[in-house]
Amino acid sequence: MKKTLSIVLSLALIFASTTIAFATTNNEQAGLLIGTTSSTVENDKALIDNTLNTYFGLQFKSVKDNKPNEVDQLKNVVEANLDSGRQVLNYETGKAKFLIASHDADNTVIENYSYKVVYSDLKLDNDHAIADINLNYKIKYNFMQDVDKEQDYHKISLIKEKGKWLIYDDVYTNEFKQAFGVGTDFNKLAINAKNDYDNFKQSNSNKTINNVNVNLITPNSVPGDYYVDYTSSLRQAAASYALEYSDDTGSTTSYSSYNNLLFNHYNPDDCQNFVSQCIWYGLGGRSSANKDLPMDAYWWGNVSSATNDWAGTSYFYSYVTNNHANNSYGVQGIDTQVSNVITGDYVYDTSGGGHAMFISNVIDSNGNGSTDWPEIYICAHTSNRNNHNLKALYGGISTPPSSFKFIKIVTFKWNNGD
């Protein structure tokens, strides 16, 4: 009898803890559902789909239609009575209104867009749900001929109230959110958008580069000193390297499959390692094992390790700019403005932990002989980008984020020991 009772209790426990998994073709839906019937599951899936598509659709549509009041309808699908939900609502409505004002400032227009919510996982537990989704979207801006393609990874938490699923958290990261984090005063940015654009346009019209070292070899120079000019052909070599060893998935993981096997790769912070590789290759580097020039004692990387100056965003910035300021040995660069950067230079976002992006192309679309904000294309690691338009990557805003530095690589100085 005890044995029989034990078996019955064991079976009861097994059934009580059973989870029901579902999946659709192409891995667009997958999930674990606890304590639900199949009809309830399908109904909840449909309701959650509706909530998520309304949530993202309102954001895209309000910006395209240039209607800031339209995005206020997000309150109908976000549970703002919870702190996390209120944060989501404030951030996403503020962001949309800032984008609208910024687009107005320089006449940026979204001609059309499309998006798709692709589920990688969906978990339901009574009145709570967590949706891991990829948001794939395409936007056609008027400042570029190609369609901008993006993919963001979201972990969205929902709660069911009175038969309706509401969002109360949305965890995701991308380049825009790094530059404009939670707590950004989007209202202030929106109010100042036109004035900020006018000031940026005025300052960027000046192509003069101040304090660039020229004719550096003088009678007082150390014997054996020489410089490798970063010529257009070397810059193109660096760009070719960048295009070969990057992808455009938007992933924050650096994959060995697209990394040069001469170098280590660092997750989730491989951006500066990649930029250093591009500049190194452009200036003639070929063997990391031998630490070929232009590597030096402070700036080098290989398959197992790297210096801070090689792999750290703030360290590399200080390395190149201090080298130029002091005419020191190594790679030299200057902090400049948008109009002065070209293929082979790089962009440094100082926000958060820092992010470095290599300039793989500049298309002089208006023929003014100067680099403009909408004309810059970048390659990067973590997040992974391949010849991606920089303005589009940041929502088409009229001016670069205030956290940006544009670094012009000037030369490489060394001594041949003579």
Interval 288-317: pLDDT, tens: 999 999 999 999 999 999 999 999 999 999
Asked if residue 176 and residue 44 are part of one domain, the reply reads: yes
Percentage of residues in the chain with pLDDT exceeding 90? 82
Asked if residue 237 and residue 175 are part of one domain, the reply reads: no
Asked if residue 368 and residue 267 are part of one domain, the reply reads: yes
> pLDDT, tens digit, for every residue of 42-79?
999 999 999 999 999 999 999 999 999 999 999 999 99
Asked if residue 405 and residue 325 are part of one domain, the reply reads: yes
Asked if residue 291 and residue 387 are part of one domain, the reply reads: yes
Q: CATH code at 153?
A: 3.10.450
What pTM does this model have?
A: 0.89
What is the C-alpha radius of gyration for the chain, rounded to an integer number of angstroms?
26
Q: Tell me the average pLDDT across 93-119.
A: 98
Residue 202 domain-assigned (yes or no): no
Asked if residue 307 and residue 173 are part of one domain, the reply reads: no
Instruction: Judge contact between 348 and 317, C-beta under 8 A.
Output: yes
Q: Give me the number of domains the chain comprises.
A: 2
The pLDDT value recorded for residue 37 is 65
Q: Tell me the average pLDDT across 87-105.
A: 98
Asked if residue 227 and residue 177 are part of one domain, the reply reads: no
**Mode of pairing for the β-strands spanning 110-125 and 30-34:** parallel
Average pLDDT value for the chain: 89
Asked if residue 123 and residue 27 are part of one domain, the reply reads: yes
Domain boundary among 171, 190, 209: 190
pLDDT(13) > 90:
no
Residue 261 domain-assigned (yes or no): yes
Which residue from 201, 193, 198 is spatially nearest to 95, judged by alpha carbons?
193
Asked if residue 235 and residue 130 are part of one domain, the reply reads: no
Asked if residue 355 and residue 305 are part of one domain, the reply reads: yes
Asked if residue 136 and residue 272 are part of one domain, the reply reads: no
Asked if residue 254 and residue 180 are part of one domain, the reply reads: no
Residue 335 domain-assigned (yes or no): yes
Of 219 and 16, the structure prediction assigns the larger pLDDT to 219
- Domain hosting 229: range is 221-415
How far does CA 251 lie from the centroid of its chain?
9
The pLDDT value recorded for residue 241 is 97
The pLDDT value recorded for residue 29 is 41
Structure tokens given for 185: 């005063």
